[in-house]
Structure 1
């Protein structure tokens, strides 16, 4: 590999903002925040909104979308033709 061409690939902890679940993996993502992991080392912490621990597809829980309310809001905003 050519030197100084590829980004730094290092261990990073990703934490789900909804469930608090965290996992250690390798990534090129960088962060100023750090976390002390169970192995005693400190790693950069990246907070994500959705991961497999909270995604409806993986958990089997689906969110109910208020479709009728969205249609009414559209008609109020743009009218009916």
Structure 2
């Protein structure tokens, strides 16, 4: 076997933010932070737990209503009249075509 190809294994502290517990195990990383472990997960404990009162949909609706209010408060833009609108077609320079420069196409 080749030497020095395997990662170093050392003591690892796993911290659960849900129940604020620490566990010690062996791994290649030093610290692991998790949100839910088997001590506090509803599937393992059999209890219901309210994790987040305002979900992503509620926060999105709040932002959307706030932006709609700002849009209504803003001064509406006045449409441009035809004379104010810039001409979008470029002006083509009139250059005379010299017949000696035109080559006939053979088929």
Output the TM-score relative to the length of structure 2.
0.40
Q: Which residue of 1 aligns with 2:27?
A: 27
State the Cα RMSD in Å: 2.7
1:23 deviation in Å? 0.7
Name which one, 1 or 2, has greater alpha-carbon Rg: 2
Consecutive unaligned residues of structure 1, counting only runs of 5 or more, are: 31-44, 65-69, 71-81
Q: Which residue of 2 aligns with 1:36?
A: none
Structure 2 spans left out of the alignment, 5+ residues: 51-56, 58-107
Larger strand proportion of the pair: 1
Paired residues, what number?
A: 55
Instruction: Give secondary structure in 2 for the equivalent of 1:58.
Output: helix
Deviation at 1:62, TM superposition (A): 3.4
Structure 1 residues 2 and 50: alpha-carbon distance in aligned structure 2, compared to 1, 3 A threshold: farther
